[in-house]
């Protein structure tokens, strides 16, 4: 599976706490290996995400406070691709998703909260500016669809090691296995 890390930019506490947490949980559930909460730290988001990882397993890493420019430069320096999700970008067609997949490089996905720095659109920062439909909606929905298109069905088969809780899918009702830590 292609390696993916999400960079969340523009988090303002307390108003963005819930959405930033949902960006992280979506990233984790849909197969990303981690999220960078750029430029700021927020203990409440770090705690909520940490709790989900402890209970539901996997090795998702949340790094907070890293300056976005440093994170992007390091990623690109190691040969990674940067994809900026924006309503103003090229539409995420099957062709574009295929092109990104075939490059077979680790992908950093930039998602905003408030208006992002103009530089995010520049070649020095992003290899692709991608829109999930050319209408404004949400960082959570655009991230989910982008990851699904890039990771195919593979993300659905991901195992979350060291889980204490595991859902056993049911036609009706809830069944959760409690495993030894
Ligand atoms: C709620 S939007 C806010 C955008 C901000 N008001 C602006 O004018 O740029 C937050 C983030 O959602 C993502 N987003 C929203 N709509 C999108 C779309 N149609 N395609 C891709 N990403 C989108 C982008 O990453 C954006 O930075």
pLDDT of residue 119: 98
Calculate how far, in angstroms, residue 151's C-alpha sits from the geometric centre of ligand 1: 21
Atom of ligand 1 nearest to the CA of 146: 21
Give the CA distances from residue 75 to residues 12, 69, 85, 162, in Å, rounded to whole numbers and listed in that order.
24, 10, 17, 28
Encode pLDDT of 12-48 as tens digits: 999 999 999 999 999 999 999 999 999 999 999 999 9
Residues in contact with ligand 1 (CB, 6 Å cut-off): 85-87, 111-113, 115-116, 131-133, 135-139, 142
Ligand 1 centre distance from Cα of residue 39 (Å):
19
Q: What is the CATH number of domain 4-178?
A: 3.40.1280.10
Residue among 134, 137, 144, 146 to mutate when testing ligand 1 (max atoms within 8 A of CB)? 137
What is each CA distance from 181 to 33, 50, 55, 159, 165, in whole angstroms? 21, 15, 9, 16, 9
Question: What's the pLDDT at 138?
Answer: 98
pLDDT of residue 181: 66
The residue whose CA has the least distance to atom 18 of ligand 1 is 87
CA atoms within 13 Å, Cβ hemisphere of 46: 11
By alpha-carbon position, which residue is closest to atom 5 of ligand 1?
115
In this structure, which residue's CA is closest to atom 7 in ligand 1? 115
Q: Which atom of ligand 1 is nearest to the CA of 136?
A: 16
Please state whether beta strands 176-178 and 165-167 pair in parallel, antiparallel, or not at all (unpaired).
Answer: antiparallel
Please give the chain's pLDDT, 181 residues, in tens: 899 999 999 999 999 999 999 999 999 999 999 999 999 999 999 999 999 999 999 999 999 999 999 999 999 999 999 999 999 999 999 999 999 999 999 999 999 999 999 999 999 999 999 999 999 999 999 999 999 999 988 899 999 999 999 999 999 999 999 997 6
168's enclosing H/E stretch is none
In 3D space, the residue among 86, 58, 60 whose CA is nearest the CA of residue 143 turns out to be: 86
Tokens in use for 4? 């993916």
Q: Are 8 and 49 in contact (CB under 8 A)?
A: no
């Amino acid at each position: 599976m292609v390696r993916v890390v999400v960079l969340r930019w523009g988090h303002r506490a307390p108003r963005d706490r819930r959405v930033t947490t949902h960006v992280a949980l979506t990233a984790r559930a849909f197969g990303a290996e981690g999220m960078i909460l750029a430029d700021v730290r927020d203990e409440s988001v770090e705690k909520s995400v940490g709790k989900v990882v402890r209970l539901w397993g996997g090795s998702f890493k949340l790094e907070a406070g890293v300056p976005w420019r440093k994170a992007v430069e390091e990623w690109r320096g190691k040969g990674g691709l940067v994809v900026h999700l924006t309503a103003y970008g090229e539409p995420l067609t099957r062709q574009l998703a295929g092109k990104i997949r075939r490059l077979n490089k680790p992908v950093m996905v930039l998602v905003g909260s408030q208006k992002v720095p103009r530089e995010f659109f520049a070649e020095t920062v992003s290899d692709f500016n991608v829109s999930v439909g050319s209408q404004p909606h949400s960082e959570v929905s655009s991230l989910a669809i982008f990851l699904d298109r890039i990771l195919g069905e593979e993300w659905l088969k991901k195992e979350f090691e060291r889980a204490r809780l595991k859902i056993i899918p049911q036609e009706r009702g809830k069944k959760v296995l409690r495993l030894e830590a």
